[in-house]
Amino acid sequence: MTIMKNRTEVTEFILLGLTNDPGLQLPLFITFLLIYTITVVGNLGMILLIVLNSRLHTPMYIFLGNLSLVDFCYSTAVTPTVMTGLLIGNKVISYNDCAAQMFFFGAFATVENYLLASMAYDRYTAVCKPLHYATIMTKSMYTRLITGSYGISFMSASIHIADIFTLSFCKSNVIHHFFCDVPAIMALTCFDNQVRELVLLYVESLDVFFALIVICTSYMLIFVTILKMHSASGHHKAISTCASHFTAVSIFYGTVIFMYLQPSSNHSMDIDKVTSVFYTMVIPMLNPLVYSLRNKEVKNAFIKLILDY
């Protein structure tokens, strides 16, 4: 840190990481390397599978391909930095790299939020309005939903970065976390953060709850439609259509609500670290597994790809 005009100006941060126990460094590195490898192979493999198989060029799988891209991107924003710290002990991150990490992680995680909402609407249309699905979920419609998800999310992340990194960091440059997360960075700023916390909480709540309203409404209507079905095969088809997405939604929002939608004064950094491992590393690994294991078309496409090559 350097002194300018009687104020401490941060030029770099020190990430405390998950643990200072030398005996845990290598086991954690191997664990995270395995998780990240599965994440990269699973998500990029899903994208490749969807691109190469023309039968998967439908709205549902185009959404899924973008979800895989987003999972890969926001995991990559965090996991390599964590593994580097564990392997060589370098826990220093520059001011600009910290801001970039927070921006890309926040942006892509928010894209996932809106993509899950878009996928819920897609599933609602498929189950509740099957005869009109092709006319409702057109290329123009799903393109607007996807581009809107990216546009809103990157704008939201820009607000976060502009709001936080225009502040002075005078308390310390030591981040009690393993990556540059919002609550951990806010704790280092010079001023009373109550108003800014409320602004950030409001923006985050808008992002999450708008998507949750769309998802909950879609599933309520799906549930009502399923109850009205008289055939067992109809029930099974409708449930299988939504099962993977519902599982992904439950995992994602359960963690998000626990992690972010509370004031930083209520945060326990140790609990946040454990939750963040699940959020930043495990969820991006799980999504392709959830969709591939529970989706017959994905499994068939994978088998066909293997046989063709």
The residues facing 15 across adjacent strands are 175
**Amino acid 300: pLDDT:** 72
Domain count across the chain: 1
pLDDT digits (tens, 9 = 90+) for 238-283: 677 687 888 888 888 887 777 655 555 555 566 777 778 888 898 8
- Nearest CA among 221, 207, 239 for reference residue 117: 207
25: CB partners within 8 A, 6+ apart: 19, 86, 87, 89
Q: Which segment of 50-54, 76-80, 193-197 scores lowest on mean pLDDT?
A: 193-197
Place of tokens 């309005």: 129
The residue ranges of DSSP E strands in 58-148, in sequence order, are 92-94
- For the segment 64-70, the average pLDDT, to the nearest whole number, is 94
Separation of alpha carbons 133 and 127, rounded Å: 9
Separation of alpha carbons 309 and 307, rounded Å: 5
The residues facing 14 across adjacent strands are 92, 174
Helix (H) or strand (E) holding 43: helix 22-52
**Amino acid 289: pLDDT:** 83
Q: Which segment of 112-121, 152-161, 195-204 scores lowest on mean pLDDT?
A: 195-204
**Amino acid 1: pLDDT:** 43
Q: Cβ(70)–Cβ(115) under 8 Å?
A: yes
**Amino acid 199: pLDDT:** 65
133 pLDDT higher than 60: yes
- Nearest CA among 292, 213, 214 for reference residue 248: 292
Q: What number of helices (H) and strands (E) belong to the chain?
A: 12, 5
Q: Cβ(75)–Cβ(112) under 8 Å?
A: no
The enclosing domain of 149 has a CATH number of 1.20.1070.10
Separation of alpha carbons 67 and 115, rounded Å: 7
In a domain, residue 1? The reply is: no
In a domain, residue 131? The reply is: yes
Q: Which segment of 1-5, 31-35, 160-164, 301-305 scores lowest on mean pLDDT?
A: 1-5
Q: Which segment of 93-97, 114-118, 143-147, 206-210 scores lowest on mean pLDDT?
A: 206-210
Q: Which of 83-97, 141-155, 219-233, 287-301 has the highest mean pLDDT?
A: 141-155
**Amino acid 67: pLDDT:** 94
Domain assignment of residue 52, given as a range:
20-308
- Round the average pLDDT of the chain to a whole number and report it: 83
Q: Cβ(203)–Cβ(183) under 8 Å?
A: no
Q: Which segment of 39-43, 136-140, 155-159, 194-198 scores lowest on mean pLDDT?
A: 194-198
pLDDT level of residue 6 (50, 70, 90 thresholds): very low
292 pLDDT higher than 80: no
In a domain, residue 128? The reply is: yes
In a domain, residue 266? The reply is: yes
Q: Which two tokens stand for residue 254?
A: 């359960």
144 alpha-carbon distance from chain centroid? 20
Q: Which two tokens stand for residue 156?
A: 């939201």
In a domain, residue 233? The reply is: yes
Using DSSP, state whether 11 is helix, strand or coil.
coil
In a domain, residue 108? The reply is: yes
Q: Cβ(280)–Cβ(179) under 8 Å?
A: yes
pLDDT level of residue 309 (50, 70, 90 thresholds): low
In a domain, residue 13? The reply is: no
Long-range contacts of 45-48 (CB under 8 A, 24+ apart): 45/288, 46/288, 46/291, 46/292, 46/298, 47/72
In a domain, residue 209? The reply is: yes
